[in-house]
Chain A
């Protein structure tokens, strides 16, 4: 059992009690909701005659179904419109703050909460979305939950949970040029496996994470769930505090100093005990690309698709399925693989720093013939900031489309979708079969800079050659 970690401290301070069968009742400091997983939860509340216990600790936005081109209401998609109206109605009836389209602060739930300073160290956070792990970048313990649990949090501001084990994932050293936070997490998942984290919280520690900005840390924690870990976190430090200071919901005046003192006290102790430790050397991490149908099927951009015999026996059947689905043969280099669509956005890589990195690559060049490339800011604030910096111009002059904020082609719940067998270079987080909207569509996950490079060349390209 872990001891003295941030996870232990936050868990203990949020424990309400022990339930009949031994699970912990855990207080949730911030509940984020969106249009996909909340309507049924509100319906369950109504059925049971329950009320939202802490409406002031609940915040809503709309992201998954949002069209990124024509946002006029009612939406063309009547089902999406119905979901939108349900959320508007539920928020109104229950006095829940709702960041709706056009308010200036709408966006992907995991982008807007950090940028407004809602996400803070030492909090417990829950959201009916698996990428809630993102918020761990601040030293919060953040869980993705299902709809029945959304109901539980609405009704009681608590969850019934069993304590997780803690694995420390240490990465030390400086990343090479052209290697980004996305590559770090793809590399970790590739090594520990997509189910390696089941039963664990991941604590990301070491100098590599200490050197990262908050946005890079969010990219890492965001994909903890792709490694099977329900949450991932990084201990708060000066970088965290500097990011938070002055944001809308950050503590102000005298509260700020109290807050920093408390945040310092919840960090993992130097002699904390972990259930497991894994270590990596930053210098050995290459720009990484997935070739298969799970985020764990990744390789360095200069490597070839692995042959079954190079893989652990347990992974071979899935590899066979992936060769077939992806139409990639073992031994084939991933470099030079032709792509059709290039997508920059999502809660993994749709923040301002991601757009800046991609714009650096795109500037002064043009998207290759026949490639559809588009950039979707993670929130209305990211969009505004990018436009203030002229990034939209850089992208459009280079032949990228510039869109409104939303989840877009990360998943297929809005008009942005792959068609048929199209293959995408995508800065998102999942390459599952059918994930991007076509049941035979294919996805190669990579960093935003690598996606930009793929757009310019029309094929998987090593971004290091463009730096």
Chain B
């Protein structure tokens, strides 16, 4: 079930703007579901309707792209994992941006989708290259922490722990967490409230 994510290659898609929240990534009405299937079609639904075909996710030149290029504080707001799920179901396998909201970042780790940060100038430059040449191939390498696109090479970064989880293929923490249920019970037993506060 778990696999290593050492590099992602493909074409880029630019999405310019700061503070793009998860309500915009997937509006709440699409959260009325009990599975994540089908969310890809509705990613950025309202922004796309508003731009009448001019949204990058609708533009022909970006179809099939797999690396999303965003700006500051991407994914802020609601904790809905439906947001990264919708982005991933559309075809995105990695994101590069100036910064990411924390819950969004954590959701992406749990899904095996790396979110890499780069300085504003690097992100802007990547967005420009891709806008001018949508066919340019891009590779982001998690071992060297470099991004390459056309003849440009830039530096990206990611918190050490998260990076290691991708590279070692342990980004799906569930197995590890479940394996230590004995220690979990021992920790619980030491917490005074576990005995006095019966939850149910």
Contacts and interface: CB of A to CB of B under 8 A. Distances in A.
A149 B23 contact: no
Contacts of B50: 439-440
A14 B196 contact: no
A146 B173 contact: no
B193 A15 contact: no
Interface residues of B, number: 70
B23 A23 contact: no
B133 interface: no
A279 to B, nearest CB: 24
B170 A230 contact: no
A216 to B, nearest CB: 23
Given A29-B193, A145-B106, A249 B76 contact: no
A80 B50 CA distance: 26
Given A21-B170, A77-B32, A149-B106, A57 B199 contact: yes
Interface stretch (B5-13, B62-70, B147-155, B176-184): B176-184
B19 interface: yes
Interface in A248-262: 249-252, 255, 258-259, 262
Interface in B27-53: 27-29, 31-36, 45-47, 49-50
B199 A128 contact: no
B193 A16 contact: no
Contacts of A155: 174, 177-178
Contacts of A228: 73, 76, 101-102
B194, B198, B199, most chain A CB atoms within 10 A = B199
Contacts, number: 244
Contacts of B72: 195, 314
A35 to B, nearest CB: 9
Contacts of A43: 34-35
B200 interface: yes
Nearest to B102: A230
A148 B190 contact: no
B81 interface: yes
B76 A194 contact: yes
Interface residues of A, number: 92
A259 B193 contact: yes
Contact of B187 (A15, A21, A194): A15
B27 A439 contact: yes
B76 A434 contact: no
A16 B183 contact: yes
A195 B71 CA distance: 12
Contact of A16 (B17, B78, B174, B180): B180
B197 A434 contact: no
B55 interface: no
In the A-B complex, list the 10 residue pairs whose CB atoms are closest, starting with the nearest.
Answer: A148-B110, A146-B107, A146-B81, A439-B46, A160-B173, A255-B196, A79-B32, A21-B164, A156-B177, A39-B34
19 contacts: A29-B193, A40-B81, A59-B200, A118-B197, A123-B197, A145-B106, A146-B84, A149-B107, A152-B110, A155-B177, A158-B184, A159-B177, A160-B177, A194-B73, A225-B103, A259-B192, A259-B196, A262-B193, A434-B27
Interface of B: 1, 17-19, 21, 23-24, 27-29, 31-36, 45-47, 49-50, 72-73, 76-82, 84, 99, 101-103, 106-107, 110-111, 159-162, 164-165, 168, 170, 172-174, 176-178, 180-181, 183-184, 187-188, 190-200
Interface of A: 13-17, 19-23, 25, 27, 29-30, 36-37, 39-40, 43, 48, 50, 53-59, 64-65, 77, 79-80, 82-83, 86, 96-97, 118, 120, 122-123, 128-130, 132, 144-149, 151-152, 155-160, 162, 194-195, 198-199, 225, 228, 230, 249-252, 255, 258-259, 262, 294, 314, 317-318, 321, 411-413, 430, 432-435, 437, 439-440
